[in-house]
Structure 1
């Protein structure tokens, strides 16, 4: 797991050239003296406040609270003076504070304000292009990578249109980040190299360190650790030159992880300890948690379980205090794995259960939000229907008043006949609907009974037999056999829990959408992929959110995806894997692909379940194709129609 305590690239207008007039000093001490002696609150005063705010939050020991207060004064004075450049820079500097203190939504809001002011006051093109790239930076931390690419391309087009020279490095870095997060490190590297060359041109040492850190992460994703480590070490050197301690902490953790992945965990420990010391000095809670967790993993790799347990518990405590859901999820899973390796199965089960409950609570929140959205939509539609009905009634009354008596009688007779016909049709439709619901209920009952018998019955029998054996083994004084039997009981119990969870999820009507399937498969695949060191990504089109799907099709689709993911993890030896959901006209296309060793589909293979997957695809009215070749990866493509759903 990569360290994510630092943003993947920094803001152009904060680290890049800061254009001010010569009479305004550029260091914290000199600008403090300037502000004391400069009594006139004019545009120069605004510039000086912006310089002070920038220096307070971008130094080795940042004072974010004081910087924000200074920049609020700058913002208020710039608005009073209608000074566009000063206001845009105040917004940008405030955004960068939120950006560095893990408040990306606030950072995005203020970066957008800065862009609006820059465009309204027609500031120079370089400033506007940089403001667009800053918005992309905040979007990147929010995980909205499609919007990141759109914003960065917009910035590039403007740079080309106005011939901005030199080009803005973070624009290229932003595109590189988006590709990297989309699990395309090879596509990311050329953009990073362009960004690095531009950073060197402007001698931006902190920017160089950030880009070199990201290049190192790309090579780690490609499992080329001999290439990643030199970039990390060069990036660390630049971060030290710039006195950028948060960046140093980030790179130090990545060096430790690269050494762990290259089977040199003992060498990685001193680097991560240095990262922890920096985070403690800065009081950076998220950085401390990240360093502690990764230290724990390094000690776990060395089978030094006592320090591993200590550090990982500290990391989890910090994540809980900050209610960082992503870290809580990762750390509880890490502790469950650690205790499993220690053969402390009671603790392993407790942390695994906590992680599952955490995932369930997140799912409940998403489900509640979806229900509220549907209810609001229903109420809105209901009101519109009432308005339409009132309009129709008013129109009928108007026609009745203007028509002649004979026409009115004819309408009444026709209306009576229509009502009779409508009543007859309604009765027929009602009976038909009742019959269909009875058939669906009967089918559902049979399916649940079948699943419970297959998934739960045999496993419970196994647990019963093993439980009976344990008593005899204890009497025979065979502790090793007792331990194996208890482990098997524990494994079977987990399987039952998972099976029951899948059955309940399958029959829950709240999950009748393709988006729910995508989320479910991602939650199933992620821990399996991480256990094998596979970089996994899910790509699902936003349009899937509104597409309903029947229970039976949903069940078959989920089981096909689960089987394919299991085969991928067991046999592919891949470093990257992708699950894509695409909506093409009236069809759904699901692609599961990896860059593993592949196989010859015409020859007998270890991969199992292909015939079962083919049968499920046929039951859905779709088709399943498997494309593979030795050393060329594997791609499974499922296509099914959405018309009947």
Structure 2
């Protein structure tokens, strides 16, 4: 679904959160504000309020961002001269909103942070101070710094609760919903969006309600509940009168089109996608235009109209490059790689896949390294097939020539003999290469087993040997109680060795070469541990994974990652509920391990509880491990890897 977030920062002052700016002396409509500013002397605070209001409406309703910027800077300068704290704060909020709408989130964040500082400096109302904190959270969401966004919004919630600010500020809950949605927690996000919606409906804020209904629809899209998503999108449209707020309308129309496309209702989808694009072009919003181009490209790709799909996707990528939006560039480049793959143009697919890989950070690049290799393999196979076809055509031509003349027959025989010799040489080389590969695999297996035995068994056996000697000494010294403790430790270590050897044997047993067997073994390991801590445990295995084979190395890494994660969950989470889920998503394995425990700060504890080891194992198997946790809000581990 479209991920355009310019939609709702501008709702801040439409939600009724700030009553001080709209007093009777200052007009409300655009035309009356224009007349007021031209005729009223710029000497007092009412003029500042009028300029701020005019700048806001000029940005939101007319999309004249340059003039809005000029008006707001004049307002800020006059407010500072008059020492009018509310005016200074408002000017900076609207400047931040203007930068937000023109897709400059870093500058938006700076102005919104400045507004927060001004609200504290001038000791503005508690509601205003809480709102400025919320605005900063909005900017963090736009910058894709979702953990900071959630942390900031929660700080605003705590302030509102502490000072009993009524009614609560809806954009705070909206921001929490967006942060959670973007951290792939759509169900949790819906709860906060519904709180925001109730507040906006109570305040009769139709524009704000439209935005929230739209965001709820996007959450249902993420949950693949398209009919529910479309219902909320259309409700969002009903809140927008006439042609007001056209950029929001464009985004909603686009998402309706995408939801209809996912629901295979292609003829219904196309007009919505085209209407969204037309509005975006009208307002020259490059972010919205590029998103609409890409959506239409994907639409035509599904219709097998590859020429149109290629045209729209390339336009989308060009605009994304102009905006230097790295995340969007990576997404659109991957889209073109997939498109060319579907067109069987593996050379172009390979080129775009490599470009996508180069644009990603190292952690994300790991996830697609296997995709690049597969694309290379397809491309090389295509070249080999072309060569074989060429040889076959040549052989056929030579055979026809042989029937015409004896000389050509002799030449063909000579050529065939040389070809056979060459084929024999190539076959011998391939056989030797295969034999060498098998020897290398066997050698690697031997090294792995030796390494495992040394690490997991050798050190423990040494410990048992030392403890046994110490036990004899204690018995000679007539210290039976201490000796008993040593014997108990020897028993524990011996049992650990047996478990380690059992795991090694299980790992190398070819009978366990399936994802289902790994999942079942993890379930057998986890169940008694969960029961010992009274944790309600839900273990789910996608039926599509039952017969998928998997290599020994991947099997071992996957099992050890799951085992470490379950151990940490049981030991540290203090959870009452836990879930482990194995899923197949297209050609990708997704393993989810989550709990409702106390959570932790992922930055401070990144080097603890085996996180580094688990991520290294995930990298070794060509996958990616994401660890998401918020204090007091549980922990979620997501392991993704390509299925070959």
TM-score (norm 1): 0.61
Match of 1:3 in 2: 2
Shift of 1:249: 0.9
Aligned equivalents of 1:148, 1:74: Cα separation in 2: 29
* Deviation digits for residues 390-448 of structure 1 (CA, Å, limit 9, x no counterpart): xxxxxxxxxxxxxxxxxxxxxxxxxxxxxxxxxxxxxxxxxxxxxxxxxxxxxxxxxxx
2:200 equivalent to 1:199:
yes
Residues 246, 469 of structure 1: alpha-carbon distance in 2 compared, 3 angstrom cutoff: same
Q: Residue 300 of structure 2: SS of its match in structure 1?
A: helix
Pick which of 321-330 and 605-614 moved more: 605-614
Residues 409-448 of structure 1 mapped to structure 2, 5 A cutoff:
none
Trace 1:165-314 onto structure 2 (pairs within 5 A).
165-241=166-242, 243-314=244-315
Is the contact between residue 256 and residue 272 of structure 2 (CA under 8 Å) also seen in structure 1?
A: yes
Structure-1 separation of matches of 2:379 and 2:150: 51
Checking the alignment, whether the CA contact within 8 Å between 2:346 and 2:378 is kept in structure 1 is no
Q: Deviations over 1:44-83 (max 9, x none)?
A: 2211111111121121x22110011011011111111111
Of stretches 209-218 and 259-268 in structure 1, the one that deviates more from structure 2 is 259-268
Contact kept in structure 1, 2:7 and 2:247, CA below 8 Å: no
| Equivalence map 1:32-431=2 (5 Å) | 32-59=34-61, 61-241=62-242, 243-359=244-360
Contact 2:59 2:98 in 1 (8 A): yes
Aligned-residue offset at 1:609: 3.1
**C-alpha displacement of 1:357:** 3.6
Contact 1:136 1:151 in 2 (8 A): yes
1:15 aligns with 2:14: yes
Gaps of 5+ in 1: 367-453, 479-559, 561-565, 573-592
Q: Hey, what does 1:469 align to over in structure 2?
A: 388
1:606 aligns with 2:547: yes
Aligned counterparts of 1:464 and 1:245: Cα–Cα separation in 2: 50
Aligned to 1:412: none
Deviations 1:292-328 (A, max 9, x none): 1110111111112222122112212222233332222
Q: Distance in 2 between matches of 1:336 and 1:170?
A: 38
What SS does the corresponding residue of 2:553 show, helix, strand or coil?
helix
Write out aligned runs for 1:23-34 (5 A): 23-34=25-36
Give 5+ residue unaligned stretches, structure 2. Answer: 366-372, 398-506, 508-512, 520-536, 568-578, 585-589, 595-607, 617-644
Change (3 A) 1:115 1:292: same
Tell me the distance in 1 between the aligned counterparts of 2:271 and 2:342. 24
| Paired residue total | 441
Q: Distance in 2 between matches of 1:208 and 1:62?
A: 21
| Mapped contact 1:598–1:628 kept (Cα < 8 A) | no
- Asked whether the 8 Å contact 2:76–2:87 carries over to 1, the reply is yes
1:464 deviates by 10
| Cα displacement string for residues 250-304 of structure 1 (whole angstroms, at most 9, x for unaligned residues) | 1111111111111223321110100010011101112111101110111111112
Q: Deviations over 1:534-553 (max 9, x none)?
A: xxxxxxxxxxxxxxxxxxxx
* Cα deviations by residue, 1:110-149 (Å, 9 ceiling, x for unpaired): 1111111111111111111111111110011111222222
Conserved 8 A contact 1:8-1:214: no
Cα distance in 2 for partners of 1:278, 1:594 equals 47
Q: 1:612, CA displacement in angstroms?
A: 2.8
- The answer (yes or no) to whether the contact 2:515–2:549 under 8 Å persists in 1 is no
Q: Which structure has the larger Rg over C-alpha atoms?
A: 2
Residues 242, 109 of structure 1: alpha-carbon distance in 2 compared, 3 angstrom cutoff = farther
In structure 2, the CA distance between the partners of 1:266 and 1:299, relative to structure 1 (3 Å rule), is farther
